[in-house]
Amino acid sequence: MSPKLPTSRKNGKVNGQSVHLSNLKIVGCLVFDVCSGKFHRVSETAAFVIDELKRQTPVAGIIVAYSQRYKISQAIAARDIELFMNDISVMG
């Protein structure tokens, strides 16, 4: 069974400042914040998760999509996504 995750995340923090998902533009493996003008190189899997979050896909749905896309179990997918979301929450 998947670990319990928040059902939606609308924003996180980068360098101590709020980043709204709606401001993020994913261009290949770059994530560009149209508001702050900052851009970050991210892995393909991170870009996938951010893209799903931008679409407001519930986390349970992201886990399913992620596990299917990368052919891994849902438990591993859930752990990866949780770690990633924790990482972006505490960046800076």
Partner 1 sequence: MTKQLTIAVSGLHRGDNPQPGPAVIRSIHRRYPSATIIGLSYDMLESGLFSKGDDGVSAAFLMPFPAKGPKVLLERLDEICEIHPLDIIIPCLDAEIPNYLDLANEFKSRRIRTPLLTKKTFERRSKNSLGQLGKATGIRVPRTIAASNLNAIYKACEEIGYPLFLKGKQCGASHVTTAAEVAYVFNSFMAVWGGPVVAQSVVYGSDEYDVIGLGDGKGGLLGSCAIRKIMLTSNGKAFGGIVVTDPVLQDIVEKVVKKLKWWGPFELEFVKGRQGHELIEMNPRFPAWADFPSQIGCNLPAMLVDLMLSRPMTPVVPCEAGRMFVRHCIDLVGDISQLAELSEGSMTKGAKLELENAKFELVK
Give the CA radius of gyration of the chain: 13
Q: What are phi and psi of 40, to 5 degrees?
A: -135, 140
* Least distance (Å) between residue 44 CB and partner 1: 20
If one asks whether residue 39 binds partner 1 (CB under 8 A), the answer comes out as yes
- Using CB under 8 A as the binding rule, whether residue 38 contacts partner 1 is answered as yes
Q: Which is nearer to partner 1, 9 or 20 (CB)?
A: 20
Regarding 25 and contact with partner 1 (CB under 8 A), the answer is yes
Is 63 within 8 Å of 69 (Cβ atoms)?
A: no
Residue 35 binds to partner 1 (criterion: CB under 8 A): yes
63 touches 77 (CB < 8 A): yes
Q: How far is the CB of 41 from partner 1 (least distance, A)?
A: 14
Residue listed under structure tokens 């407001």: 56
